[in-house]
Amino acid sequence: MNSTVLGLGNPIFDMYSSLDNQKLFCIRQYVDSAAWGRTFHVEDSLFEQLLTCVEPKLVIPGGGAFNTVRILSQLGHSAGFIGTLGARATLLSHKPPLTAESFQWEMKNYGIKEYTNTEGNQPCGRSLCLYQGDQSLLIVNPAAAVNLQELEDSLLREADPHLIYVEGFLLPRRRLLQEVCDWQRRSGGTLAIDLGAPPLVEHNRDFIVSTVLPHTTYLFGTEDEIDGLQMEPEDIRSKLANGTLVVKKGAAGSSIYHRTGFLDIPPHKTEVIDSTGAGDAYAAFYLSGILHGMTARTAAEAATYGSSLVLSNLGGNIDTSVVTSVAKMFHA
C-alpha cells in the first residue's frame, strides 16, 4: 500500500555522547538540576555552552514525527514531512556543520517529500542525548523548529495526505492543531497523534480533550501522558473519532483500547542500549500494520518487536533492511 502519510513535528538533530562524571559536573555548571532520567529544554546560548562540555560522537537527524515518518517511508509508504529548519549553521569539532541542507538531504535519502520552512536567523533544533550505561539525560534546544505555527491550505492540497501524524511537542501550537483538525473534518482523513510528554498534556489538557480528541483516530501515549488527561482510558477512547488508544508501557509492553475491545501486548525482551526514538518506531510500525490491513493485535505485536530493535541500537533509526524484515515477518 502506497498511502500518503504526512508527519508534522520539530526537526531535531540528535547528538549522542557518553557522559562520565567529569562531563556531568561540567553540564551541571550550566544546568544545575541535571540528573539521569530527566529532560531539559534550553535556549540557544545555553545549548552552545553545553556543547563545550561534550563532543558528540554520533549525530542523526531526528525528532518525534520525523523518526516515525522515516520508518513509514522505509516500509514503503509515500511519506512527507512538515517542519521548520534553521539556516544558521552549527559548527561541531571535526564534523560538517549542522544545517537545513543536511536535514533536507536526509529526507531525500529516505524518499521523504519535503514541505519545510527555513528560518534564517536560527539554527536547526538540536538535542544532546547523553548516556552512561543504561542511564540517559536529554537536553533539547528546539531553536527554529518552534516557528512552525500554522499550515497553508495550498501545502496540504499539494501533499494530499491520507493520514497526518502529529508529535505531541506541537500541542501548545493551538492554531496549528486547529487547522489540522479542520483538515480532518473537511477531508475525512485519518489523524494520529502522539502525546509527547506529561507536562505538555497537563498544560493543554482542556484543549486536547475538547478540540483534538474528537478528530483523532489513533492516540499514542505513555502511562504518565495518559494520566495527564485525568480520564479513564476507555473514556478517552470513547472521545476519539471512532478510534484507538495505544498506551505505551515501556518494559511492561503496551495496551490497546479499540472499538471492539481491549488488548494487553507483552514486551519483546531486549538489551536496552538507547531509548531514543523507540516510541516513535512503535507508532510507525503500528500505523503501517493498520494501513496494510493487519488486526490491532498483529499491528501491536509488529510495533513491539520493531521498537525493540530501536532500543537495542544507539540512535533513533535502523537500517531499511531491518525495517522491512519486520514487515515481512508479520505479513507472513
Domains and CATH numbers, the chain: 4-12+62-122+143-331 (3.40.1190.20)
Question: 194 near 166, Cβ under 8 Å?
Answer: yes
Give me the tens of pLDDT residue by residue for the chain, a chain 332 residues long: 577 999 999 999 999 988 888 888 899 999 988 888 888 889 988 998 998 898 888 899 999 999 999 999 999 999 999 999 998 887 776 577 889 999 999 999 999 999 999 988 889 999 999 988 777 888 999 999 989 998 888 888 888 999 999 999 999 999 999 999 999 999 999 999 999 888 889 999 999 999 999 999 999 999 999 999 999 999 999 999 889 999 999 889 999 999 888 999 998 888 888 788 889 999 999 999 999 999 999 999 999 999 988 888 877 788 888 888 888 888 75
Query: Helix, strand, coil proportions of the chain in percent (round to 5)?
Result: 40, 25, 30
State the Cα–Cα distance between residues 101 and 230, nearest whole angstrom. Answer: 42
pLDDT of residue 330: 83
Sign of CA dihedral 244, 196, 214, 292: negative
Considering only CA atoms, which of 279, 179, 175 is closest in space to residue 223? 279
State the Cα–Cα distance between residues 329 and 193, nearest whole angstrom. Answer: 26
Question: 200 near 169, Cβ under 8 Å?
Answer: yes
pLDDT of residue 153: 81
| Torsion angle in degrees (nearest 10) through CA of 222, 224, 228, 233 | 60
> Cell triple for residue 208?
486536547
State the Cα–Cα distance between residues 69 and 242, nearest whole angstrom. Answer: 23
Residue position matching grid coordinates 472499538: 259
Residue position matching grid coordinates 538533530: 13
State the Cα–Cα distance between residues 115 and 126, nearest whole angstrom. Answer: 19
pLDDT of residue 170: 94
pLDDT of residue 1: 53
DSSP label at residue 314: S
pTM of the model as a whole:
0.93
Question: 106 near 315, Cβ under 8 Å?
Answer: no
> Cell triple for residue 269?
525482551
Strand ranges for 173-230 from DSSP E: 190-194, 218-222
| Torsion angle in degrees (nearest 10) through CA of 140, 208, 84, 321 | 80
